Chain A
């Protein structure tokens, strides 16, 4: 069966510090991978998605970047965090092809102080 992992589960970082969040998927190959952010009281915002190694699409301009160094690994990074980067970050995967169902990881709660 497929499993998706995210770490860390929670993170408190000062403004201006770097960020690295990691997501890995087990039990499938060549998945589509996604990073979302959920700010307090707001819906999920798609940040990045990837259809293959080294292929990253960005949905919104922001202080963040994403990389996919391996087939089942997706990393979200920032060089300098802003207060507005606080939120709940969710990684998700879907099989490429019918029916493109999405599965989510447990999330990382990021607080920028």
Chain B
């Protein structure tokens, strides 16, 4: 069964720093990988989706990369802001695209 790991579990950085969140998965037979943001007590907001044939996706200050063969993805956040404070989750889909497996998330705190 697919297992997804996110490191670190928690991260605290001063405002303005660039940072990298890591996600690894055990089965490389995935359809896509999706990064989400979750604010306390709220649902998940989709940030970026990378299809298995892609290497990276960018949206504003966010850049996500995917190395499917090694089972790794990173989420790069440039010039972090206090509003970026949240839990970031990565999820990989099965090769059929119908099932999704989540990591336990990285809790990010950006200090003003």
Instruction: Spell out A's residues near B (CB within 8 Å).
Output: 32, 34, 36, 42-44, 46, 49, 51, 59, 88, 90, 92, 94, 97-107, 109
Contact indicator B46/A101 (Cβ below 8 Å): yes
Does B26 sit at the interface, judged by CB under 8 A? Answer: no
> Which residues of chain B come closer than 8 Å to A106, judged between CB atoms?
42-43
One of B13-21, B73-81, B99-107 contacting the partner: B99-107
Instruction: Spell out B's residues near A (CB within 8 Å).
Output: 4, 31-32, 34, 36, 41-46, 49, 51, 89, 91, 93, 97-105
> Which residues of chain A come closer than 8 Å to B34, judged between CB atoms?
101-102
Contact indicator A44/B102 (Cβ below 8 Å): yes
CA distance A105 to B42 in the complex (A): 9
Contact indicator B51/A34 (Cβ below 8 Å): no
> Which residues of chain B come closer than 8 Å to A88, judged between CB atoms?
41
CA distance A107 to B31 in the complex (A): 26
User: Can you give 30 contacting A-B residue pairs, CB < 8 Å?
Assistant: A42-B104, A43-B103, A43-B105, A44-B89, A46-B100, A46-B102, A49-B98, A49-B99, A59-B99, A88-B41, A90-B43, A90-B44, A92-B44, A97-B97, A98-B51, A99-B32, A99-B51, A100-B32, A100-B98, A101-B32, A101-B49, A102-B34, A102-B46, A102-B100, A104-B36, A104-B44, A104-B45, A106-B43, A107-B41, A109-B41
Are A51 and B102 also in contact (CB < 8 A) when A99-B49, A104-B44 are? no
Contact indicator B32/A43 (Cβ below 8 Å): no
> Which residues of chain A come closer than 8 Å to B41, judged between CB atoms?
88, 107, 109
Contact indicator A107/B102 (Cβ below 8 Å): no
Contact indicator B98/A102 (Cβ below 8 Å): no
Contact indicator A100/B97 (Cβ below 8 Å): yes
Task: Return A55 CB to nearest CB of chain B, in Å.
Answer: 11
CA distance A32 to B105 in the complex (A): 24
Contact indicator B43/A105 (Cβ below 8 Å): yes
Contact indicator B99/A46 (Cβ below 8 Å): yes
CA distance A104 to B34 in the complex (A): 12
Task: Return A6 CB to nearest CB of chain B, in Å.
Answer: 8
CA distance A34 to B46 in the complex (A): 15
Contact indicator B91/A100 (Cβ below 8 Å): no
